[in-house]
């Protein structure tokens, strides 16, 4: 019995040590005093959910803006219901267009208008989007060439 009791004591002490390490973190969270914790928790999620379909819809006939997705009054109760209806009706068409064309526009990176070094071989504009080490036309998403 003594050997078993010794093991239990060691486990109990180890648990106490672990608990002590966690407590200072709790104090830090209490000290943060976030004025609007709900918006801090939900805004990144809503942005991520919006950015995927909006990125896929870029340069297609199915492009949309913030107000199209959310409605004109985000303070109303209809706000979240409108999002679901909008996505149910538009996102499948966006996905079909991307699948049919086989093209997904690159995301926006660092942009420059009227660049003196690069020109688009397709539209002859000099609107540059630097993304992932590439120079892409900001208007038609074609790789740029130097002048």
What are the tens digits of pLDDT across the range 61-104?
Answer: 888 887 788 777 767 777 778 888 888 998 899 999 989 988 88
Return the domain boundaries, the chain: 1-33, 35-105, 110-146
Percentage of the chain beyond pLDDT 70 is 80
Work out the average pLDDT over 25-48: 70
For residue 1, what pLDDT is reported? 44
Calpha distance 11→29 (Å, rounded): 28
- Cα–Cα distances in angstroms (integers) from residue 126 to residues 8, 118, 137, in the given order: 72, 6, 7
* pLDDT at site 49: 78
pTM of the model: 0.56
**76 DSSP 8-state letter:** S
| Closest-CA residue to 125 (of 9, 116, 134) | 116
Closest CA to 50 of 75, 79, 25: 79
- Mean pLDDT, range 37-59, rounded to an integer: 80
């Amino acid at each position: 019995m003594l050997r078993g009791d010794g093991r239990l004591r060691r486990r109990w002490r180890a648990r106490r040590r672990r608990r002590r390490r966690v407590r200072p973190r709790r104090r830090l969270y209490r000290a943060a005093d976030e004025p609007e914790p709900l918006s801090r928790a939900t805004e990144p999620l809503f942005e991520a959910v919006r950015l995927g379909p909006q990125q896929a819809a870029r340069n297609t006939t199915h492009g949309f803006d913030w107000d199209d997705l959310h409605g004109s009054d985000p303070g109303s109760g209809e706000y979240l219901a409108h999002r679901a209806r909008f996505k149910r009706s538009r996102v499948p068409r966006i996905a079909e267009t991307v699948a049919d064309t086989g093209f997904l526009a690159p995301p926006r990176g660092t942009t420059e208008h009227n660049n003196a070094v690069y020109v688009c071989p397709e539209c002859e504009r000099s609107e540059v989007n630097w993304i992932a080490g590439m120079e892409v036309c900001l208007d038609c998403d074609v790789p740029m060439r130097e002048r």
